[in-house]
Structure 1
Amino acid sequence: MGLLKFSLTTFISLLFLACEGEVSSADLFEIKLDGKKREYFQSEQIEVSINNKKNIKIDRVRYSIDGEVLEIQNNTIKLDIEKLGNKTLKAVIEYEENTAEISKNIRVLAKDPPTIYTYKIINQYPHDIKAFTQGLEFFQDTLYEGTGSGGMAKSFIRKIVYQTGEILLQKDLESPHFGEGITLLNDKLYQLTWKSGFGRIYDLSHFNNLGEFKYGKSREGWGLCNDGTNIYKSDGTEKIWLLDPNTLQELSFIEIVTNKSIFNMANELEYVNGKIYANVWQKESIMIINATSGAIEGVINMAGLKEKVKQHNNLDVLNGIAYHPERKTFFVTGKNWDTLFEVTFTPK
């Protein structure tokens, strides 16, 4: 009985000591930020400190976001980070020959509000009223278009003489797949599907099917564009994904932000000189997004354009934006619009 009592006591003591040894970093330390806020601005300087819950001697603290170490001076860090949005501020604490890592979730917003732009119509061209436009892009003065299955026709991709609307080549997407955004890179055309979870690759000459790629963490397929090297993909959330042009795997993402909030619903995309121009789903506006940081640097008010096309029961929203590099103008249209508009944008 005495031996049993001793063994049980010993077991309980060892169990207690083991539990005592499994102290988490959060039990020892906590990141404290100036004003206890959760939202800050890019390049903002904020006071930071460590709440040392057990009064342990701390030898060194390093702070980082997205793997980039932040310089600290006089207990102040500067949020001089490249990508904005929802972020995790990490602190690596060295103490008594041990290391602890703790974190705090914050939101880093754009420093400046977006500039408001207006549009000017330069020319108008015929557009297929049955085309439920999802993607639009130029290549060597030829317009390429991808559509969804809304309105009066099924999904397809086609290349067009933009001045006349003449169809040079078309390939339909088999049902039940719903076509979405397109982009052209390295003599290939890439097309998204909305909810089918895959995209398709075609050659430019004959639209022969070269293969498919599956989505990773992105929710759906909405818009596509490219910067000549990388491909960008929107999925209806606050994220725009950066895709490897060879494997089409999602490498990273930016989050779309203003100086006040995180924004979602970027639809059709077009990349021009470091900026992503994005149709806003169900809105008569286009965002100008910094392709590196995700900051919305401009908003183009496109109000009134829809009223200039033929009004009918299947008429839908503004969608489709393509930049013509030689003309240095943009071409925009909408779902089941009978007109393609050539426009320029100017600050209001």
Structure 2
Amino acid sequence: MRTPILTTLLLAAALGGCAGAPAQETGPEQLTVQVVSTLPHDPAAFTEGLEFAGDTLYESTGLAGQSTLTAGPAGGPPTTKVALPAPLFGEGVTVLGPTLWQLTWQDGFAIERDAKTLAELRRVPYQGEGWGLCHQDGGRLVMSNGSSWLTFRDPRTFAVTGSVDVGRDQLNELECVGGDVYANVWHSDTILRIDAATGRVTGTIDAGPLRAQVNTTSSEEVLNGIAAVPGSGDFLLTGKQWPVTFRVRFVPKHA
């Protein structure tokens, strides 16, 4: 028969062992899209960047000799538009008050522009490719290059200030919301919600239901373009040369 003292010691040891066991980390939250409404989208627009600033929607498009940057109301004709000179290939865009940054794909520089007129102000070189771009509260830029890495940049100089590995390749168009970064995964219907501080994927969003509503004719007409709708919790999603933009909410995905 065990003595009361021995029993107490064994119980304490067992409880201590449980307390010291690491908590199991849960996987990313599984989400899908709930369509709120649809808006017309230019079917010629090879969308590479999409972002709201106030009630103005900015869209950067690609393809050498066809790249543009537009600004205007969501779903309506642009009020301002500029064409990038050939052979530049436009990529991600983000707006910082009176100015904005627009990436180029393999041309090796970002273009700073006046946010109202879209006039080019200067070009700043960077290493590697440019894919997606957004900015966090406080102005820090977040950039993707098609790899698994997000690079942080100074909003004034465009200098690199840090980076984080997400562990998932082909990160494309980006949207910053608070401490999260939403990223399209190229050639997929998946959007990742990423904790920018750690690179951890906290949510996986299946946007596949949208593709079923779009008659694509090319493998390059992929989901690409995320813009948070200010003050709503909704997002605008579109794709390269899609004829429609979807206003959606991200909701739990049920098996």
| Short-chain TM bin | 0.7 to 0.9
- C-alpha separation in 2, matches of 1:315 and 1:280: 13
Question: SS of 1:327's equivalent?
Answer: coil
Q: What aligned pairs does 1:228-243 form with structure 2 within 5 A after superposition?
A: 228=137, 229-243=139-153
- Amino acid corresponding to residue 233 of structure 1 in structure 2: M
Question: What does residue 154 of structure 1 align with?
Answer: 66
TM-score normalised by L of structure 2 = 0.86
Question: SS of 1:166's equivalent?
Answer: coil
Question: Could you tell me how far 1:205 is from its partner in structure 2?
Answer: 1.4
Question: SS of 2:208's equivalent?
Answer: coil
Question: Could you tell me how far 1:160 is from its partner in structure 2?
Answer: 2.4
Question: Could you tell me how far 1:286 is from its partner in structure 2?
Answer: 0.1
- C-alpha separation in 2, matches of 1:111 and 1:213: 41
Please tell me whether residue 335 in structure 1 is matched to residue 247 in structure 2.
no
Question: What does residue 121 of structure 1 align with?
Answer: 35
Question: SS of 1:308's equivalent?
Answer: coil
Deviations 1:111-138 (A, max 9, x none): 4321110110000000000000000000
Deviations 1:145-199 (A, max 9, x none): 001017xx70010012214x21111011111111110000132111100011101
- Amino acid corresponding to residue 235 of structure 1 in structure 2: N
Contact 2:89 2:104 in 1 (8 A): yes
Question: SS of 2:59's equivalent?
Answer: strand
Please tell me whether residue 222 in structure 1 is matched to residue 131 in structure 2.
yes
Structure 1, unpaired ranges of 5+: 1-109, 257-261
- C-alpha separation in 2, matches of 1:313 and 1:221: 23
- Amino acid corresponding to residue 263 of structure 1 in structure 2: R
- C-alpha separation in 1, matches of 2:79 and 2:129: 30
- C-alpha separation in 2, matches of 1:214 and 1:315: 27
- C-alpha separation in 2, matches of 1:319 and 1:146: 11
Question: What does residue 8 of structure 2 align with?
Answer: none
Identity in percent: 38
How many positions carry a matched residue from both structures? 229
Question: What does residue 52 of structure 1 align with?
Answer: none
Question: Could you tell me how far 1:314 is from its partner in structure 2?
Answer: 8.0
Contact 2:54 2:230 in 1 (8 A): no
Question: Could you tell me how far 1:204 is from its partner in structure 2?
Answer: 1.1
Which of these residues, 167, 179, 184, is aligned with residue 274 of structure 1? 179
Choose 1 or 2 for highest CA Rg: 1
Which of these residues, 27, 43, 50, is aligned with residue 136 of structure 1? 50
Deviates more, 1:320-329 or 1:119-128: 320-329
Structure 2, unpaired ranges of 5+: 1-23
Question: SS of 1:232's equivalent?
Answer: strand
Contact 2:97 2:115 in 1 (8 A): no
Which of these residues, 151, 169, 188, is aligned with residue 80 of structure 2? 169
Q: What aligned pairs does 1:49-88 form with structure 2 within 5 A after superposition?
A: none
- Amino acid corresponding to residue 168 of structure 1 in structure 2: T
- C-alpha separation in 1, matches of 2:103 and 2:204: 25
Higher relative contact order, structure no. (Cα contacts within 8 Å, ≥ 6 residues apart): 2
Question: What does residue 289 of structure 1 align with?
Answer: 194
Contact 1:191 1:201 in 2 (8 A): yes
Question: What does residue 188 of structure 1 align with?
Answer: 99
Which of these residues, 213, 220, 224, is aligned with residue 124 of structure 2? 213
Please tell me whether residue 202 in structure 1 is matched to residue 113 in structure 2.
yes
- C-alpha separation in 2, matches of 1:341 and 1:221: 25
Contact 1:189 1:203 in 2 (8 A): yes
- C-alpha separation in 1, matches of 2:79 and 2:202: 37
Question: What does residue 21 of structure 2 align with?
Answer: none
Contact 2:149 2:163 in 1 (8 A): yes
Question: SS of 1:263's equivalent?
Answer: coil
Q: Which runs of 4+ in 1 moved over 2 A?
A: 309-315
Question: SS of 1:221's equivalent?
Answer: coil
